[in-house]
Amino acid sequence: MYGRDVLSDDWRRPKKRVIPTVTADHGLVVEDVAGEFCGAVVGCDKEAVTLEDRFGRRRLFPLVPAGFLLEGEVVTLVRPPAGPAAPRRSASGSIAVEGLRARVARESRIYVEGVHDAALVEKIWGHDLRVEGVVVEYLAGVDDLPDVVAEFAPGPGRRLGVLVDHLVPGSKESRIAEKVASSPDVLIVGHPFVDIWEAVKPAVLRIPTWPQVPKGVPWKEGVIQALGWGIEPADAWHRILGSVSTYADLEPALLGRVEELIDFVTSPDAER
């Protein structure tokens, strides 16, 4: 039971532990070796794997040796062997149209409140908007929305969709929206965030949460001060926008509203 020669190996030297290698197949549930995040594999490239937990939160982890736990055992994840190329996805998650030539712009339009809103929509949905021929413009604030709608003159074949910040019951924004929402060719939707900055998930910026800003303090400046960034709002926005790469970096409360607007202005009814 002890083998032929008990002295054939150096008994003083501990045997090297063998870490099993596991293919990071889609849907495989693993935990990072630090025990801080558990989720299913939803993406993998030659350098990193993306895990999604049961709440829909995603995190990216490097493919390092002994970097994960599978059923409590330390394993090394490796990229699956190459198979048929999957369709390329746009930042919004839609199937990308290769060799895209932008469609002639529709008469229908989407309006957002400010330049930051427009930049974020363009970064995530720009490909989809060019496929559909939808132009996004910004209002520079919601106060002039009634005049903008009247000047746009919506009607059959000329729909107007509007994305409003902080559209919650009793807010100034909700009162203004009620004045112009009676036309079947106008759709006004909104998200609950004070500013479009808040629609970016805090984890993307490596902050625990967006700060609560006291009333009377300009929101952007208050956020910057609370986070200790020490930069101007324009530079803060560049940092925020630069951290966003796909729809998974944004809160669902914004995603659904933008998709709703795109569907509204591109539906067959909008062409009549």
Give pTM, 2 decimals.
0.66
Q: What is the pLDDT of residues 214-263, one digit of tens each?
A: 989 999 999 999 999 999 999 999 999 999 999 999 999 999 999 999 99
132-152: average pLDDT: 87
Residue 26: pLDDT band (50, 70, 90) is confident
Q: Which CATH number fits domain 1-85: 1.20.1070, 3.10.120, 2.30.30, 1.10.10?
A: 2.30.30
170-191: average pLDDT: 83
**Structure token pair of residue 135:** 């132009």
Cα–Cα dist 83/103, whole Å: 33
Cα–Cα dist 228/250, whole Å: 23
Q: Which residue has the higher pLDDT, 81 or 117?
A: 117
48-77: average pLDDT: 90
- Which residues is 70 bridged to in the sheet? 73
Contact status, residue 89 vs residue 79, Cβ threshold 8 Å: no
Cα–Cα dist 138/116, whole Å: 9
Cα–Cα dist 164/109, whole Å: 14
